[in-house]
Amino acid sequence: MSQTYLSLTVELPEEQSEAAQDLLHEAGAMGLEVRDREAPPMPGVRGPNPGEAILIAYFEEADTAEAARAQLAESLPDARLLLEEKPQQDWSNEWKALIKSVQVGRLWVGPPWEADAAPKDKVRLVIEPKMAFGTGDHPTTSLCLAAIDAYMGSHPGASVLDVGTGTGVLAIAARKLGASRVVGTDNDPTSVELAHENAAVNGTPELELSGKELTQVEGTFELVVANILANTLIALAPLIAPKVKDRLVLAGVLAPQKAEVEAAYRAHGLIPEAGAAQGEWVRLDFHR
């Protein structure tokens, strides 16, 4: 295997994205990442400018990558192109060093290969890092875990709704800390599948995890948590707010976005409380 690979980053008007994707596939891209309005990047990853998309194509051979770059430059002159050589990494092992276990309140969350080292007095959640967000070590997840720990401590047996469940980490944590009914939803089918796997591994197969729209979820919940991006939280406010019986916890919000998200939920009758922050990320807490 070659010691390097090539990555071609393409930034272009969103309406040209599909044509560029076809072109990149035909030109021999081995893989393609798309960041646009439909597939916004995860928190912490650079997103496209408004009205634009970012495509990142991966190539094994420099000649193929250079030919693709030239072809794109000719066919789509508005596209901004950056071709870079990157060192090939042994992802099978190196990424493991990047996954850290975390302890939040009564909880320990970490990957299987660290589980034996988890302190015995902690409630242990094992999440194998795969294609869903939520291994516990992202600040937005930790902020939510802390809120769940505190709420379940003072409201044993509360019902919990986790919107944008990802790996299911928050839903599983709530159940392990004594929640009664726990529902998790996600609009990404892979996340729902992995959340089911994680629930089974962690001994909580009774969680109601699905890709249901919130309008399809029955009832209200004492605690609702949603760790999604700010623009999605604002769009979902009319659907999330009616589900809250007592407490709402929102994360995935950067400090400058806080006021706008807060206003969207105030408008639906929720009353802000002091939240929390970790680095650039804030958590917004509300009550009915």
Ligand X SMILES: C[S@@+](CC[C@H](N)C(=O)[O-])C[C@H]1O[C@@H](n2cnc3c(N)ncnc32)[C@H](O)[C@@H]1O
Residue 9 has phi, psi (to 5 degrees) of -95, 130
Structure tokens at 81: 């192109």
Site for ligand X (CB under 6 A): which residue of 110, 139, 166, 275? 166
* Stretch of residues binding ligand X (CB under 6 A), selected from 11-19, 53-61, 140-148, 272-280: 140-148
The footprint of ligand X on this chain (CB under 6 A) covers a number of residues equal to: 24
Structure tokens at 133: 């967000």
Please list every residue from 144 through 163 that binds ligand X, using CB under 6 A.
144, 162-163
Structure tokens at 161: 């709704």
Beta carbon nearer to ligand X, 162 or 222:
162
Site for ligand X (CB under 6 A): which residue of 48, 110, 139, 252? 252
Fill in the per-residue mask, 33 to 72: x = in contact with ligand X (CB under 6 A), - = not in contact: ----------x-----------------------------
* Stretch of residues binding ligand X (CB under 6 A), selected from 28-36, 104-112, 130-138, 271-279: 130-138
Beta carbon nearer to ligand X, 23 or 217:
217
Amino acid sitting at position 71:
Q
Site for ligand X (CB under 6 A): which residue of 172, 199, 223, 228? 228
Site for ligand X (CB under 6 A): which residue of 16, 101, 159, 165? 165
164, 236 Cβ separation under 8 angstroms: no
Beta carbon nearer to ligand X, 92 or 216:
216
Determine the 3-state secondary structure of 238 from DSSP.
helix
Structure tokens at 228: 């999604």
Tell me whether strands 52-59 and 4-13 are parallel, antiparallel or unpaired.
Answer: antiparallel
Return the C-alpha torsion angle 13, 18, 19, 24, nearest 10. Answer: 110
Cβ-proximal residues to 235 (8 Å cutoff; 6+ apart), any chain: none
Q: Does 128 bind ligand X (CB under 6 A)?
A: no
Please list every residue from 176 through 195 that binds ligand X, using CB under 6 A.
185-188, 191
Strand segments, DSSP code E, in 44-101 are: 52-59, 80-87
Residue 57 has phi, psi (to 5 degrees) of -105, 140
Residues that bind ligand X (CB under 6 A): 43, 132-134, 140-141, 144, 162-166, 169-170, 185-188, 191, 227-228, 232, 236, 252
